[in-house]
Structure 1
């Protein structure tokens, strides 16, 4: 829509600025300039960055939210380049952060949450907790004492520090079943999302809406949730880095998804600082490795170690591992001492996998274990630079019954089978088609059982067919259509 047509557009559709104030959307160029008048509020607090229900177990859950000082994010006003990643055109990196596309200001206030069962009985309630500038107005709550395989609703309330209007939101989730229950389960994974790679101008990412329609039991984001080191802005200080989280969590598709689907998050390099990051590589502008860690734990609902395992009924157990906090320098000479996971995590992983009696076991990792990957890369277990630990890991995993790898990081969808061990790996691909790059079309290697240079997500379903456990891996496009499937019996 061109400038000359704007007045006619509003007249024709009957939309006024006052009516737009009631519509919680991030509008794309060019009607954004009208919305600058209504995107902020100077009174009250809002859930503009939504909330997250995370780390769901048999009897526990983590809750997260951020109190905001404006009802809608700043609108998207920049056009984008017509090439991979869709970088913004003529983006002023020095403009005030609170005026940037997608910006959401924080607000001091108080927030509490209640959890109700299916009969509307309150089974848990928090105290009023203060959202403070020190933590970017984020609040995390740890909930214990829930029942397995039970549906719950979450009621949120927020208010300014001096009282006033109470803002309310609601979500729902179900806890994991006990280890003895042979119940069906479906979960989804995705990776690599950059604010400017959105493919829906109003809602953000089609993949999230497609996953929501599948009603998965939980979702695992396998890393590169944001990109500090991509423009619009380049996050070279704390304020701009925090903005990256605000803008991403302001998209409607993410907010609606997290209302109903429990989340688990695994970090990768771009979530921490910059490409192929490890401690000692150096800062990114004024942002240090420790700054990156602080921001991660500020925005991710998790407590305890960043590596953990989730048991979901009799037939499924997943392990989510940490690949940035404990790794050796990528440039270090390879050998027994070079590691991505660190000895403590490796020991924990081996012990918990060996102790598991789940029918199917899945390692979820931010980076590949099998690959193939590009020869020039030096960052993961599929690369020559970590061959020693990679060979150990592939050997260990292939020695377990019914164990598979699901990974993020790569900007294409694939299924591969290691030629030496037979270990199978499933790469979900990036969240949108315009984020896909890094592999040549038609470059199918012997390891590949499936290769697609597009975005989308991975859906994993465990069920019983005539009493026999079965696992199904489905690669789907951004609209949710199945483009490849692999099935295995347990």
Structure 2
């Protein structure tokens, strides 16, 4: 009897210890992101979480396009929403390890003020070097007891990834990167993994990835993001898909925002709030969740043959409804001057303009007025197309929910539209409506790949459209 009682007491004690330890655990459920990679720097982003898996999906979805959840109650507590991942107060520590170099940061606290996110720019890295990323996390209650601060919990969690820094600007090396846009959480096409494109792109082993906006959709159901907590939840859910975690843990990211990542459709400074979210709130959340620091317009060099420009199309624009003229702008004068100067200074073989919105189009005439392919911004659009063509640039654009290759009938400027991240999100254009500008048209989901290499010393660039499964559906080849 004594042995039985001791066994039961031991079992109960063991369960209590297990329960206590479980409460002490933290996780990196929403993964990590490696942003803004140059030849000697990178931005590391992650978020400390209190649960190992996101909340399960319990709602059925309507038919495509936009497979919004059925019978969804927008006023549910945020921590009960499908896909939500709660954050955790604690500390984060980052290590970057290469064959000959190691960078180790001190432990740093994360808290609810910035949604338990961690973001740090790391410099003095070596060019064209592969770094292993190790991020440790631990819970910390920081409760004072009689003027003594409690020690951090010993239990820690770890997430790992890797990336390779950019080559030096004069190095002649092959480069391959991918680009995608428009991913509404509820238009996922793999019930376990999330979006198929991420697994398909990972197999291609890109040097880096450009995501050109509409990473989340505040103004689509599931929930409608009518307050800050709901807006943040949208990021948690989209980031926690396993395919996204596996991809971004291992592929550097250049992220741009578009209207749905900021507030609501066609958003611009001074726009009325969406629910309880102001324009400034949306901007603050964006910089909290995005793996970038500094100005939102920037350029990156990948060796002798590749340079990309990522311009900012929401922070400096004029209201869409204003009459077009010389002062109406999407980019603002400061950004335009910087862009023109940096392009003229560049000696890269191939110059690529990565845009969250179309420049060539054609776009829908009846209901769109917020990009350079629309007459609402025609004056600046005419300048931009002439400038890009003069400097022998190519446009990679997001925002449109169909894939295409277009050639401007006036300037000859070529534009490559990535298409949405899933077939369920494709809409807005008829596959039979092929315009003179179209060299390729496909109203379906997928992504774009860009391959740059030298063949017998001759620089070559390939623009490859893929479907959601990674099958090639079109290729344009340009030789210098």
TM-score range, shorter chain: over 0.9
Distance 1:210 1:145 in 2: 32
The answer on whether the counterparts of 1:222 and 1:407 sit within 8 Å (CA) in structure 2 is yes
1:441 deviation in Å? Answer: 2.4
Q: Which runs of 4+ in 1 moved over 4 A?
A: none
Distance 2:471 2:30 in 1: 29
**Aligned match for 1:145, one of 108, 124, 136:** 124
Distance 2:330 2:246 in 1: 35
Q: What's the counterpart of residue 234 of structure 2?
A: 244
CA deviation vs aligned residue, 1:327-362 (integer Å, no higher than 9, x gap): 000001000000000000000000000000000000
Q: What is the RMSD computed on CA atoms of the aligned residues?
A: 1.0
Q: What's the counterpart of residue 178 of structure 1?
A: 168
Q: What's the counterpart of residue 381 of structure 1?
A: 372
Larger Rg: 2
Q: What's the counterpart of residue 4 of structure 1?
A: none
1:280 deviation in Å? Answer: 1.9
Q: What's the counterpart of residue 357 of structure 1?
A: 347
Distance 1:71 1:169 in 2: 12
Work out whether 1:455 is the aligned partner of 2:445.
yes
CA deviation vs aligned residue, 1:302-325 (integer Å, no higher than 9, x gap): 111000000000001000000000
1:163 deviation in Å? Answer: 1.2
SS in 2 for 1:212: helix
Work out whether 1:116 is the aligned partner of 2:114.
no
**Aligned match for 2:56, one of 71, 75, 78:** 75
SS in 1 for 2:103: strand
Q: What's the counterpart of residue 388 of structure 2?
A: 397
The answer on whether the counterparts of 1:415 and 1:425 sit within 8 Å (CA) in structure 2 is yes
The answer on whether the counterparts of 1:433 and 1:456 sit within 8 Å (CA) in structure 2 is yes
The unaligned stretches of length 5 or more in structure 2 are: 1-18, 141-151
Distance 1:127 1:141 in 2: 11
Q: How many residues align?
A: 448
Work out whether 1:154 is the aligned partner of 2:144.
no
Distance 1:199 1:290 in 2: 33
The answer on whether the counterparts of 2:34 and 2:45 sit within 8 Å (CA) in structure 1 is yes
**Aligned match for 1:430, one of 420, 436, 439:** 420
Distance 2:250 2:37 in 1: 12
The answer on whether the counterparts of 1:179 and 1:311 sit within 8 Å (CA) in structure 2 is yes
The answer on whether the counterparts of 1:44 and 1:164 sit within 8 Å (CA) in structure 2 is no
Q: What's the counterpart of residue 230 of structure 1?
A: 220
Distance 2:431 2:304 in 1: 40
Q: What's the counterpart of residue 212 of structure 1?
A: 202
Work out whether 1:135 is the aligned partner of 2:114.
yes
Distance 1:338 1:443 in 2: 30
Distance 1:309 1:214 in 2: 24
CA deviation vs aligned residue, 1:18-64 (integer Å, no higher than 9, x gap): xxxxxxxxxxxxxxxxxxxx9xx643110001110111101000000
CA deviation vs aligned residue, 1:145-196 (integer Å, no higher than 9, x gap): 0111111101110001131311011110000001111100001000000100
SS in 1 for 2:24: coil
Distance 1:130 1:290 in 2: 25
SS in 2 for 1:233: coil
Q: What's the counterpart of residue 190 of structure 1?
A: 180
The 5 Å alignment of 1:16-35 reads none
Q: TM-score, normalised by structure 1?
A: 0.90
CA deviation vs aligned residue, 1:82-129 (integer Å, no higher than 9, x gap): 12111101011111111110010000000010011125x5x2111101
**Aligned match for 1:446, one of 423, 436, 457:** 436
Q: TM-score, normalised by structure 2?
A: 0.92
Distance 1:89 1:83 in 2: 13
Q: What's the counterpart of residue 46 of structure 1?
A: 27
The answer on whether the counterparts of 1:42 and 1:70 sit within 8 Å (CA) in structure 2 is no
Work out whether 1:106 is the aligned partner of 2:97.
no
SS in 1 for 2:272: coil
The answer on whether the counterparts of 1:412 and 1:427 sit within 8 Å (CA) in structure 2 is yes
Q: What's the counterpart of residue 259 of structure 2?
A: 269
CA deviation vs aligned residue, 1:348-407 (integer Å, no higher than 9, x gap): 000000000000000001000000000021000000000000000001011013x10000
**Aligned match for 2:42, one of 56, 61, 65:** 61
Q: What's the counterpart of residue 305 of structure 2?
A: 315
Distance 1:397 1:263 in 2: 24
Distance 1:244 1:482 in 2: 31
The unaligned stretches of length 5 or more in structure 1 are: 1-37
